[in-house]
């Protein structure tokens, strides 16, 4: 096999939280973590879908406190390590300290692609706590390559050890991923990662483009469980990379077992490209908006695709979930407006 090392970071227990409506149980986390560890995955993420501190009315309340889930997952780790996500403004330094006490060994500090400057103190703290520290540039399709490089350099200057191109909306195409990863490889001295969503059915193709351009951290989710149409499917990624003679270090049979025997049994629905999630990729809308949009469409009796198109025009980003209902209300007003009498 090609002498190359990849870190496949599995996000089933974090990004999958969106699809699960943040209702993971300890037993589900325990069995998934045990399977990932046995399969040889070095890092897997456990948090509320919107990261540490995300359990709220705004983002959705967790069924089980995330610190308990982190502890549960960490207890199953022989060689694997638990990662967490922190979005400044949602998670705090206190949440990060608590996560470390619960067993977290890595953190991904996530900001909008143009707002890396808000993460300096969080990255500094993460390094002080001895965590593997990663910068996560979300909604990467919304910035020029020049801006992406500028923001990635900020993450690097703060102490991030890896910087991710994060396709939060599943809006990028393979050549766009290649351009972005290549630019970061040329301009940064740290490792580069890629996180994809499948809203345009491009997640696997985009991940391969990232790998071929030099990314060494790549994200996946078992059975593609994640926001929108889900993520690059971990077990598929392992199989494809193995066929391409890359060395992932992950046991294909064992990763298939945890995907099919554990995750498939608790998934609320199959992860597939639907009309609504497809529109998210097409319009460039944050993948975690899907369930909120479906709820708003039912409440106002309108087409959820219309909501997503408007959100795309507004360039809405994570943290603006309240806009979904505002947009839905405005569409309803226009739909049922009575024309003035002549």
Neighbours of 152 (CB within 10 A): 26
Q: Is 286 marked as a binding-site residue?
A: yes
Q: Tell me, what DSSP letter sits at residue 117?
A: G
Which of 12, 27, 30, 24 is closest to 60 using CA atoms?
Answer: 24
Q: Is 197 marked as a binding-site residue?
A: yes
Which of 121, 104, 160 is closest to 137 using CA atoms?
Answer: 160
Q: Which runs of E-coded beta strand occur in the chain?
A: 2-5, 7-10, 43-45, 81-86, 104-112, 132-138, 162-166, 191-195, 217-220, 246-247
Q: Is 195 marked as a binding-site residue?
A: yes
**φ, ψ of residue 138 in degrees (nearest 5):** -80, 160
Structure tokens at 108: 């991904």
Q: Is 223 marked as a binding-site residue?
A: no
Question: Is 292 known to be catalytic?
Answer: no
d(CA 222, CA 201): 16
Tell me the H-state helices in the chain: 16-19, 26-39, 66-74, 93-102, 120-128, 145-158, 174-187, 203-213, 234-243, 252-258, 264-266, 275-283, 290-300, 304-314, 322-335
Catalytic residue from among 18, 48, 122, 292: 18
Q: Is 15 marked as a binding-site residue?
A: yes
- Where is the binding site for Mn(2+), in residues? 15, 195, 197
The residues annotated with a catalytic role in the active site are 18
Annotated binding site: 14-15, 168, 195, 197, 286
Q: Which residues are annotated as a binding site for substrate?
A: 14-15, 168, 195, 286
């Amino acid at each position: 096999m090609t002498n190359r090392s990849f870190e496949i970071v599995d996000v089933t227990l974090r990004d999958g939280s969106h699809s699960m409506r943040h209702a993971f149980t300890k037993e589900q986390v325990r069995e998934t973590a045990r399977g990932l560890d046995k399969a040889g995955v070095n890092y897997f993420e456990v948090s509320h879908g919107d990261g540490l501190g995300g359990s709220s009315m705004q983002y959705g309340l967790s069924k089980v406190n995330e610190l308990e889930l982190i502890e549960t997952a960490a207890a199953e780790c022989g060689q694997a390590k638990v990662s967490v996500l922190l979005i400044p403004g949602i998670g705090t330094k206190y949440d990060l300290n608590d996560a470390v006490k619960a067993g977290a060994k890595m953190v991904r500090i996530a900001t909008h692609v143009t707002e890396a400057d808000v993460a300096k103190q969080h990255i500094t703290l993460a390094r002080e706590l001895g965590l593997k520290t990663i910068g996560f540039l979300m909604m990467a399709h919304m910035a020029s390559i020049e801006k992406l490089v500028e923001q990635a350099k900020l993450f690097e200057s703060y102490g991030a050890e890896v910087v991710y191109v994060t396709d939060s909306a599943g809006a990028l195409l393979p050549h766009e991923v290649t351009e972005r990863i290549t630019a970061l490889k040329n301009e940064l001295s740290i490792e580069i990662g890629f996180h994809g969503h499948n809203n345009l059915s491009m997640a696997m193709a985009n991940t391969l483009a990232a790998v071929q351009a030099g990314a060494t951290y790549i994200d996946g989710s078992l059975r593609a469980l994640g926001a929108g149409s889900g993520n690059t499917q971990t077990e598929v990624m392992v199989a494809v990379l193995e066929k391409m003679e890359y060395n992932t270090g992950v046991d294909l049979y064992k990763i298939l077992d945890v995907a099919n025997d554990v995750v498939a049994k608790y998934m609320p629905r199959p992860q597939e490209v639907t009309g609504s999630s497809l529109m998210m990729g097409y319009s460039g809308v944050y993948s975690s908006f899907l369930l909120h949009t479906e709820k708003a469409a039912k409440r106002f009796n309108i087409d959820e695709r219309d909501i997503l198109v408007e959100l795309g025009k507004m360039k809405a980003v994570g943290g603006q979930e309240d806009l979904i209902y505002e947009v839905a209300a405005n569409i309803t007003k226009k739909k049922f407006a009575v024309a003035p009498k002549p």
